[in-house]
Amino acid sequence: MKQFWRNSLVTLTALLLSATALAEQPPASVKIAIVAYTQGGKPVFGGIAGRVIEDGWLEQQLSQRGVKLDWIALPHAGAGPQINEGFSNNSIDFAVRGDLPSVIAGAGGVPGKLIVPGGSGNNIYLVVPSGSDAKSIEDLKGKRVALHRGRPWEFAFSNFLASKGLKLDDLKIANLNPQVGAAAVSAGKVDAAVLLSEAYALEDKGVGKIIWSTKEGANDWRLVSDLWGTDSFVAQHPDITQLLATAWVKAAWWISQEQNQDAYYQLSSRAGTAESVLRRDDQNDPVTWKDRWAPKSDEQLKAHYQALTAYALANHLIRNTYDISPSLATGFTHQALIDLKLTDYWPALRGQVSTLP
C-alpha cells in the first residue's frame, strides 16, 4: 500500500511538473488583429502598429524566444465582429478595438483584457455635400444622415446632438460605414455623414464641407481604441504580453515627440490616407501633440466606459450592464512605463495606472 501511494505521488508530481512546463512554453506565434489598408494585395499598417513594425524591437524580442509575430489585417467594415469571434475561439491573441464595440462585446460575454489604453483618440467630423445650405446640426433636423451604428463615433456624435438638445431620432439615420457614407455625401445621396479624417479628402475633391468636428467638443467625445488581449493568452503568457505592451508604449512615446512628427505622417500615409489629410486632422486640436498619445489612466478608463455603457443601454445596443474594471490589465502598461523610464514623461499618469496585471 505504501508503494502504491508512493508511486501515485510520483505520478502526480510528474503531471504537475509537466503541466507547469507546458504553461511556461512560449506560443508558436503572437497574432495581432488591426484594421489596415491593403495596397497591392498586401496590408499596410499606420499609427502605433506601423511604428511597432518599423521599429522591429518586438519582432526581434519574440524571434529570440522562437515566437513568430503575425499581423492580421482587418477591413474597416465588419472588424468588430471578426475581433469578437477571434477572441471567443482564440484564433487571435490581441486586437486594437474601439471603445463602444468593446462595451458591446463585454456585455455580450466576449472575454478579453485591456492591456494598453489608447490616447486621447481620433477626431470625428460632420460633413455635408459642398452645395448644401446646412451650416449647423440644427439645419439637419429631419434630414438623412449617414452614421455607422455601434461604432465608436456613434457615441461622439450622440454626445454632440445631446449638447444641442437633439437625439438620433431627430434625424433619419442611414447605417453606413464611413467609406460608404463618404461616397453617399459625394453623390448627394445623404444630407450629411459622420466621418473620420476622410472628411478632408472630400473637401479636397470639392464634394463636401465640414460643419462640425470633435475639436469643438469635449475631449471624451473622440474615437478611442485600446489594445486588448484574450483572457487565455494573457493568463498563460504574461511575459509575452509584457513585451507587446512595452513595444506599444514605446511606439506611442516615439510618435509623441515633436521631432518625430514628420516621420510619423510619412509612415501613416503609407496606410492609404494622404499626408496632407493626416496633418489637417491634427491642426487646431485643443489637445497637445504629446498628450494625444498618453495612455488613459484607470480612473479615466472607468469613467469613459461607464458613460459608454449607460449610452449603449439607453440606446438598446446591449441588454446587460457592463463593468470594465475586471477587464483592466493596465499593470502591463505601468510596467512598460517603468521599464522604459517614462513614469514622469506623461505627468497626468503618475501613480494613476493600475499596478496589477
Query: With contact defined as beta carbons under 8 Å apart, do 235 and 245 qualify?
Result: no
Least confident of 21-25, 67-71, 232-236: 21-25
The pLDDT confidence band at residue 37, using thresholds 50, 70 and 90, is confident
The pLDDT confidence band at residue 122, using thresholds 50, 70 and 90, is confident
More confident residue, 345 or 273: 345
Looking at the chain, the whole-number percentage of residues with pLDDT higher than 70 is: 91
Least confident of 21-30, 68-77, 212-221: 21-30
The pLDDT confidence band at residue 5, using thresholds 50, 70 and 90, is very low
* C-alpha atoms less than 13 angstroms from C-alpha of 6 in its C-beta half-sphere: 3
How many Cβ atoms from other residues are within 10 Å of residue 157's Cβ? 24
Average pLDDT over residues 10-33: 63
- Residue among 220, 218, 182 nearest 200 (CA): 182
pTM for the model stands at 0.87
Which residues, in sequence order, are CB contacts of 329 under 8 Å at separation 6+? 113, 114, 115, 229, 234, 241, 354, 357
pLDDT tens digits along 307-352: 999 999 998 999 999 999 999 999 999 999 999 999 999 987 776 6
Query: Helix (H, G, I), strand (E, B), or coil: what is residue 195?
Result: strand
Domains of the chain as residue ranges with CATH: 27-121+224-349 (3.40.190.10), 125-221 (3.40.190.10)
The pLDDT confidence band at residue 3, using thresholds 50, 70 and 90, is low
Average pLDDT over residues 118-139: 92
pLDDT for the residue 354: 66
pLDDT tens digits along 280-316: 999 988 889 999 999 999 999 999 999 999 999 998 9
Looking at the chain, the whole-number percentage of residues with pLDDT higher than 90 is: 65
Query: With contact defined as beta carbons under 8 Å apart, do 83 and 93 qualify?
Result: no
Q: pLDDT averaged over the chain?
A: 88
How many Cβ atoms from other residues are within 10 Å of residue 198's Cβ? 22
How many Cβ atoms from other residues are within 10 Å of residue 57's Cβ? 14
Question: Is a pLDDT exceeding 50 seen at residue 19?
Answer: no
* Interatomic CA distance for residues 353 and 331, integer angstroms: 7
Which residues, in sequence order, are CB contacts of 29 under 8 Å at separation 6+? 67, 68, 69, 70
pLDDT for the residue 44: 84
Q: Given the C-alpha cell 459625394, which residue does it identify?
A: 186
Which ranges of the chain does DSSP label H, i.e. alpha helix?
2-24, 47-55, 57-64, 79-89, 99-107, 152-163, 178-186, 198-205, 231-236, 238-256, 261-269, 275-282, 289-292, 298-314, 331-339
Average pLDDT over residues 18-34: 75
DSSP 146: E
